[in-house]
A = this chain, B = another copy of it.
């Protein structure tokens, strides 16, 4: 574990992801304003945590980056679409994201809505254009698309956003808060890990273990987001802090306090690491990412 260099792993994987995204949305091939808006929100200093997790999960079961890189990029597009739509005036009304003006500020509302729609649709175009190695792989790709669509859909991420909006200004209990996060961010994080494992030819048992890992780091990631919204550095993060409190949003710090929230996140990471005991050292990237989930500054 100590010998694994997460920084250089993240650097190299992010580079691969960003280069592939660049190739997919080649600005020069289409001068449409919607493509500019898609690129505006997609290209830049994102953490790329979902695609990295997809690649790392594939590796943990013996797969190669090349086999899942397109899935990884599709996941980032779905995540980015959700950010664009969540930032809209009708929803969270945010003006800063990834260190840049949000999409509807840089362009306009209509373009931002359509750019989000286009990224979501492009994700499924990418997933269905992957050339399957054989006919068994075609079945696996259908399962990958189904897994991602379910996670992103009205029983997953979208329901989380609906519940999140409905909760604004209300004082939630821990259970309701957890439900929102499991849906809003947990579902797609879990799908990222599972689809990497599916296409990496993971066994049923491996995928079950990875689900436990995913659920725990997904929640730990969100608790840390809540903590960073209180005590993070907005310059490092590229987005505003203190926004949760300003909106009277229920968060882990607002319910548990900062210290207990950190303890809670640490326990979740320990659970995730325990689920990885089933795997060999090919899962070192996943191990390191589990620690990173709570140690990150942005």
Contact = CB atoms under 8 A, between A and B. Distances in A.
Interface of A: 30, 32-35, 38, 81, 85, 88, 90-91, 108-111, 113-114, 116-118, 120-122, 124-125, 127-129, 132, 135-136, 138-139, 141-143, 145-146, 149-150, 152-155, 158-159, 161-162, 165-166
A287 B135 CA distance: 36
A108 B154 CA distance: 17
A247 to B, nearest CB: 14
A142 B138 contact: yes
A117 B158 contact: yes
A111 B120 CA distance: 17
Given A117-B158, A120-B120, A162-B114, A132 B125 contact: no
Contact of A122 (B35, B109, B121, B154): B154
Interface centre among A33, A124, A146 (most CB of B within 10 A): A124
Nearest to A91: B110
A113 B136 contact: no
A146 to B, nearest CB: 4
Taking the full assembly, how many copies of this chain does it contain?
2
A82 to B, nearest CB: 8
Given A117-B158, A142-B138, A153 B122 contact: yes
B129 A146 contact: yes
A200 to B, nearest CB: 19
Nearest to A125: B149
Contact of A34 (B35, B111, B138, B162): B162
Nearest to A134: B135
Contacts of A88: 110, 113
A120 B139 CA distance: 22
A121 B152 contact: yes
A25 B34 CA distance: 31
B135 A121 contact: no
A158 B128 contact: no
A113 B139 contact: no
Sorted nearest first, the 7 A-B pairs with minimum C-beta distance are: A90-B109, A125-B149, A135-B135, A128-B145, A138-B138, A118-B154, A128-B146
Contacts of A116: 117
A154 B121 contact: yes
Given A142-B141, A154-B38, A158-B114, A149 B122 contact: yes
